[in-house]
Every structure is written in structure tokens, then in C-alpha cells.
Structure 1
Amino acid sequence: MANEQSAKMLALIPCLFEALDDPPELLHLLGSDSHVSGASGDVVLAASLHQPALELFNHRLMGFVEHDVPLYNDLTFKAHFRMVRSTFQSLLEAVAPYLDCRSNTLETKVLSTVWLLSNAESFRGVADRFGLSKGSLLHIFLSVCEAMRHLDSVEWPSEQLMKVSAGTFLARHGFPGAIDCIDGCHIPIKGRSEDRSSFINRKGYSSIVLQGICNENMQFIDAFAGWPGSVHDSRVLRNSPITAELEKMPGNLHILGDSAYPLSTFLMTPFKETGNLGDQERRFNVLHSTTRSIIERSFALLKGKLRRLKSLDMSLEQEIPGVVMSCVYLHNFIISKEREDNEIIPIRDMNFNFSTASQKRAAIAAWI
């Protein structure tokens, strides 16, 4: 008798699910009695097995690029995308030859990538905002980043441009012969799956090193990314391709670096503070520090403009250096389009061409 009753109740379950708007409420009703057992227990179990699977709700915004972005005023557009509209149009023209836009428009691809680089929004949130799946956004992001590396905005200067930079540094800061400044900064990344300890920097978090050399306009004339965070700045410089170019520089010109780098004829570092420095050496160090601070401000501008670099949480470890370099190229591109042209200041004839780096540094200190 009990078996027949149980069979009848089981047969009614599909009908009850169709009648009720909230199937979990049925489970609550059937199982509300703490003494449910036997046939009723079988009914509750069957009902739970019959409950339909829940699907993810689609939160994607449709028409964001076509309808919402055009309504942004100039200030709002620049706040979100870190550039004015005219610069963005130039960016579209520059990267268009390198992108396949059959599935999504060029504007959608570039806007979504720049938004992802410029804001600390989650990957899923950006995908929903631009009406894309996460897989599509990842493919778009990597392809646009690769296209940005064709911008040709990071370029080592000619000797003539070196002299122009030297004249500008001298006029602004009073330091003779300096054309650029060098330093390294850490780009935080998630813990590596392999060789994890080598990426832990001296501050205790995982990172890769971005070595940058910037000019007087806070543009990077050279950048090199990818070495683990535990590697010293001087070692990164020794293993970077730019070393060969630095060795070819005219003898009376040089770049500025902090004490982490070795003194050389093409790289001026401060005097070591041993407690017995003279007035000339102290003046040199003060002027060296104030002039060299432009590289630190350049890194701050880069990370402030493209905030994804403050924490680059990527699982595709092999793509991280390329993404970092894409940010450098985009940073330079924006500055080149939006800065005002500076007055060209010719370099004064000064002879700092010495055979040894120590002699050269002493002569500069005496000149200052």
C-alpha cells in the first residue's frame, strides 16, 4: 500500500514543478516536516533530482560602444580612456592595418583594450560592459596589444636629437651633457607556477622588472621588460640590447642613473656618501638627484595612466612582457600627440670627453 502511494506521489512531481514558479519552494514544503521518512523521503529525493540546473545570468551591455561612448563629453572620455578623442582617432588609424575586424568593430576592439589597461575593473566586468564573452575579450586584448607594439613610438634618438635633449636638460636643471635618465621599476604579477622564488623582489611580492630610459618629455626612448623581480638593476642593464647603443654615445654625452648602476663614461652615477664628500661632490649629488627624478615621474605617469600595470594579474605568463611593452608604446603615443612642442635649446660646447668615468664625473662636478 505504501509503495503504491509513493509511486503516485512520484508521478505528480513534474506537474508540481510546472505549477509552481519556485521549485525550491516545493522542496521546502515537502521537507518541512522534520520527521519525513520512508515514502515521503523518497519523494523529496526525487524532487531534488528533478530540479532544473541553474544557468548564469547574462549581464552584458549591448550597444555601449555605439550609444553610450559617443555621449561622453571630452573630459569624461579622457578620464576613462586616458586620451582625447583626436588622439584616439589617430590610434585607430595606426593599429587598423594589424587587426582583423570581421567579428567585432575596430572601435570595440581598441576601446575595450584601452579600458582594460586604463582601469582596475575586473576582466569579467570589462567583457560585460562591451558586450563580449571573456574568451573574445582575451583574444581582442592580446591582438590589440600586439598591434600597439607597431606604433614605433619608442625609438633611440639620433646624435642630433641627443644634443637637443642635452640642451634641454641643461636649461631646465643645470646638469651638463645629460640626455636621458635610466631606472627600473617593478610590475606586480601573480605568483608564477614555475621558478616562483626568483620573481619575489626585495619588497616581498612577485614582479617583473621594467627598465626604462626617458627623455626630458617623460617619453621612454628605450624600454626592456621581462626579467624576474629579484634581479638587480645593473644585471638587467648588462643583458639589455640598449647597452650596445650606449657604448656608441659621444664622449661628452651621458645618461643619469642611481647608485644601483656602475659608473661608466656613458652613465653618470652619484658619488658614494662616505661622510667625507666635498662641496663639489655634494652639489653634484643634489643636482644629479633632482635631474634624475624625471624617470621616477615617468614611471608614475605610466602607472597612473595605465593602471593595469599596478597589478598585472595574468595567467598567460608568456604574454606579460609584451603587455607591459604595449603600455609603454601607448604611453609614448599619447604624449607625442598631446604635448606641446618644446623650444629647441642648442647644447653649449663643453668638453667632458675623458678616458675614464671617474675623471669625467669629477670634471662635471667642478663645472657645476
Structure 2
Amino acid sequence: MIFGSSSSSSSDEESSSDGFEEDLAGFVDRVRAKNSVFFEETVPSYDETDFVSHFRVSSTVAHQISQRFERSHFYNSSAGKYGHISPQKQVHIFLWFAGHQTASFLDVADRFGITLSSLFRITRRLTMFLSSLSQEVIRWPNDDEKREAEEWFRSKGFPGAIGTIDGTHIRVDRPHNDPDSYYNRKKYHSIQLQVVCDGHKKITSVFVGFPGSVHDARVFRRSPLGQNLQERCGDFFLLGDSAYPCSRNLVTPFRSTGRETRQQRNFNRLLSSCRVVSEHCIGLLKQKFRQLYHIKLRNIATTVHFIRACCVLHNLALSDEFPVENLSPVENTLDVSHQEENDEDEARDLPEGVAYRQYLLSSMNLN
């Protein structure tokens, strides 16, 4: 089991344990790609709408990533067996792979006119490079940013909140090691991704890597955020669903007993209308980087870095005009509904949380 948060450090990008060699075993350098002009001639003809549609970020963001990548130690400027591949082309190759659910290694290598051995090195380096930016790009808000985030939730009728938390399952192929622990309640193998975002769908915390069989509440408790929530939030709080324990700094709905008051039902509806932003954030993340619907990398550590890399890209491209499809709460039909399959022992409300939720209820006009 490997897991990490947005504050985790990255491992050496040249490590032989990263799994890309496994993913291309038996294929490397047996196939030479045929299309050598796609990036050089076709991509420059794209207008901005076409570019975003194909590469999932704006050309400006892609250019900025390329510049940063070129200056990093992850970029190798030496020419390989089949010639030099520019940092710009390498970034575009990775973006294409991440953004297309059906893009296999063979498809991407053919499209960009490179060998499979070049492709796995590029994918490995960009995965580790982007993952290494998580501490910079995915940040917990400072005091000024907390107040700004709180203003958004206040405008929606929920003063005091600075973000919403949610979990999602990233489908993976059956792992070689301890596969049963990755088998979730919907009967497929997955890795847990925990996300906190603000009202504008900016990700402020990521924790990824727990096996799919682990309950959301346990993932939260084991995360750096869960262990330091009061210190992170101060007088503010997050909004979550019933998969999480209600506490002073994590407010969840009143549990369904059939005896809720009208005020409690209205409270739950208001909380849900605010909390849905995290579901939309996750839906947008998967729409942009469709490999997240089902990652077929064999190595779990590599997969964790790849997921975090996509979260970094999400924040970098947040202001891009991406063509958004329907972002309903059931946007990802493969996801596990933890609200309906809640484990009360895992998500038992804390007394101080129950008292604070009641205080919030009494201070709101919810008649």
C-alpha cells in the first residue's frame, strides 16, 4: 500500500520501481510509430477551442508547463536513440495520454511518431514532475484565502465553511500485491482519492493511495488533514457527507432517522447544495483527464503519482474554458455511493460535532 497527500515529496523519477517498465514489458522498441507530423504540423493549426478539447488545458498553460519542465531536473535534454524530443512535445504527449480514456501506449506512440521506450520515459518523467509540484500548486488556504473562501459559502447561506470534502474511487486493474484490499463494495478494484476544494472547484488538499475497500472515514482519519484538522481550519470548518464523522471542523448532515424536524431537513438540503461543489470538482477532474476513469498502469506507486499529477493539472488549468459536460453528482457511474452504504461505526459523530451542528442549526433561519 502506498499513499500520499499534496504535501508528500516525490521519489526519483528514474527509479526502476515506478512501474512504467512493467506496463510496456514485451512491447518496448518493437513498434515504431508511423505518424511523425501530428505535433509538428497538425497541432499548430488548432484554434484554442480545438486545443483545449484535445489536450485538456489551454495552450498558455501547456506552454507554461513546458517551460517549467525544461528547467527541472526531470527533463533530459540529451538525444536518445531516435533523436531529441523537445520539452514542448513531451508535455503535449503526456497531456494527450492523460486526457483520453481510450488512449493506449501504442495509440499515443503512433500519433506522436515516437517509440514505446521513449513514450514510457516521457510519461514517467512528466508524471513525477507534475506530482512534485503538488506542494506548490495544491495548497491549504492561508488566513486571507480562508476568509475569501468563507465569503463564497456565506453567500450560499453557510457562513463559517471554507471548503468541502469528498472521496472518489479511481478504478484500476487488479493489483499483483494484496488485490483483495483494493476490491471495493461495487465489486471492482480501486484506489481512494480524497479531495478538498473551495467554492470555485480549486483543490486545496489531496490524499490518495488507500485501497478501495477502506471506508472514507478511515481514509480521512489516516490523512494528514484528518490528523491536523483543527489546526488547519481554526474557527472555520469543512462540509462533508454522512460518510464522515461530524466534528467541530467537519460538519455533516443530520442522519436520516425518519424523525428529522423541518429545520433539520432544510439544514441538510442547504448543506448538500453547498457540498455538491466537491462532487462537481471530482467530476470535472475526471472529465478533463479521462484516464482517471480507469487507470491501467500496473504499479500502484506510479498510479498514485499519476492521480496526483492530474490534480495538479486541474488546478493549473482551472481558469481555462474547458467544455464542461453534465456535472451531476452521479457523473461517474463507476463511483461508489458511500452515502447509501455508510458504516456508522467508521463515521460515528463526535459529541463536539453534534453540539456545534446544533448551534449552527439554531443560528440559521431555516424555517
Structure-1-length-normalised TM-score: 0.77
* Counterpart Cα distance in 2 of 1:279 and 1:176: 20
Q: Secondary structure at the match of 2:318?
A: helix
Task: Pick one of 46, 50, 57 that aligns with 1:83.
Answer: 57
1:331 and 2:293 matched = no
Taking structure 1 as reference, are residues 132 and 186 closer, same or farther at Cα in structure 2, changes over 3 Å only? same
In 2: Cα distance, 1:137 partner to 1:197 partner: 31
Give the match for residue 78 of structure 2: 102
- TM-aligned CA deviation for residue 149 of structure 1: 2.3
Letter in 2 for 1:213: V
Select the structure that is richer in helix.
1
**1:102 Cα shift?**
2.5
Counterpart position of 2:185? 202
Calculate the aligned-residue CA RMSD, in Å.
1.9
SS of alignment partner, residue 335 of structure 1: coil
- Pairing 1:255-294 to 2, within 5 Å after superposition: 255-294=238-277
Counterpart residue identity of residue 292, structure 1: R
Q: Which residue of 2 aligns with 1:156?
A: 140
2:107 pairs with 1:125: yes
Distance apart, 1:360 and its partner CA: 1.2
Q: TM-score, normalised on structure 2? A: 0.77
Structure 2 Cα separation of the partners of residues 153 and 246 of structure 1: 20
Q: Deviations over 1:278-334 (max 9, x none)?
A: 122111111011110111000000000000000100122321100000000011110
Change over 3 Å in CA distance of 1:190–1:174 after alignment to 2: same
Partner residue, 2:126: 144
Q: CA offsets, 1:137-190, max 9 Å, x none?
A: 01110101111124321001112211111111111x211211000011000000
> Is 2:288 aligned against 1:305?
yes
Alpha-carbon distance in structure 2 between the residues aligned to 1:363 and 1:295: 24
- How far residue 338 of structure 1 moved from its aligned partner, in angstroms, is 6.4
Q: Give, in whole Å, the separation in 1 of the partners of 2:196 and 2:352.
A: 23
Distance between the aligned counterparts of 2:60 and 2:183, measured in 1? 41
Name the amino acid aligned to 1:69. Answer: V
Q: CA deviation at 1:60?
A: 2.1
Q: How many residues align?
A: 298
Question: CA 1:251/1:89 → structure 2, altered by over 3 Å: closer, same or farther?
Answer: closer
| Structure 1 residues 337 and 97, CA gap change in structure 2 (3 angstroms) | farther
Three-state SS of the structure 2 residue aligned to 1:175 is coil
- Which residue among 359, 362, 366 is the counterpart of 2:362? 366
Cα distance, 1:255 vs structure 2: 0.1
Q: Highest Rg: 1 or 2?
A: 1
What secondary structure is seen at the aligned counterpart in 1 of 2:108? helix
Tell me the distance in 1 between the aligned counterparts of 2:182 and 2:233.
36
Structure 1 residues 250, 132: closer, same or farther in 2, change over 3 A?
Answer: closer
| Worse overlay, 57-66 or 197-206 | 57-66
Structure 1: unaligned runs, 5 residues or longer: 1-55, 340-354
Distance 1:82-1:365 versus aligned 2 partners, 3 A rule: same
Q: Cα–Cα, structure 1 residues 261 and 174, in superposed 2: closer, same or farther, change >3 Å?
A: same
Whole-Å Cα distance in 2 between the matches of residues 127 and 61 of structure 1?
9
What letter matches 1:224 in structure 2?
F
Aligned partner of 1:218: which letter?
K
Distance 1:309 1:251 in 2: 33
For the 8 Å contact 1:283–1:365, the answer to whether it is kept is: no
Cα pair distance change 1:336/1:248, threshold 3 Å:
farther
Q: Which residue of 2 aligns with 1:34?
A: none
Check the 8 A contact 1:65/1:107 in 2, yes or no.
Answer: no
Equivalent residue number for residue 149 of structure 2? 165
C-alpha change, 1:338 and 1:158, in structure 2 (3 Å) is farther
Q: Aligned AA for 2:153?
A: F
For structure 1, which segment, 125-134 or 236-245, has the greater mean C-alpha deviation from structure 2 after superposition?
A: 236-245
CA contact 1:251–1:265 (8 Å) conserved in 2: no
8 Å contact from structure 2 (residues 197, 281) kept in 1: yes
Residue-by-residue CA offset, 1:185-214 (whole Å, 9 max, x unaligned): 000000011211110111000000000001
- Supply the AA of the counterpart residue of 2:361: A
Alpha-carbon distance in structure 1 between the residues aligned to 2:31 and 2:180 = 40
> CA–CA distance in 2 between the matches of 1:311 and 1:63?
29
Q: Letter of the aligned partner of 2:63 in structure 1?
A: Q
76, 93, 96: which one aligns with 1:115: 96
Displacement of 1:84: 1.9
The CA deviation at 1:337 is: 6.3
**Unmatched segments (≥5 aa) in structure 2:** 1-29, 80-84, 323-350
- Looking at structure 2, the residues matched to 57 and 310 of structure 1 have their Cα atoms a distance apart, in angstroms, of 27
Describe the shift of the 1:316–1:133 C-alpha distance in structure 2 as closer, same or farther (beyond 3 A). Answer: farther
2:169 maps to 186
- In structure 1, the partner of 2:328 is none
Identity of aligned residues (%): 33
Higher relative CO (Cα under 8 Å, sequence separation at least 6) belongs to 2
Aligned mates of 2:131, 2:193 — CA distance in 1: 16
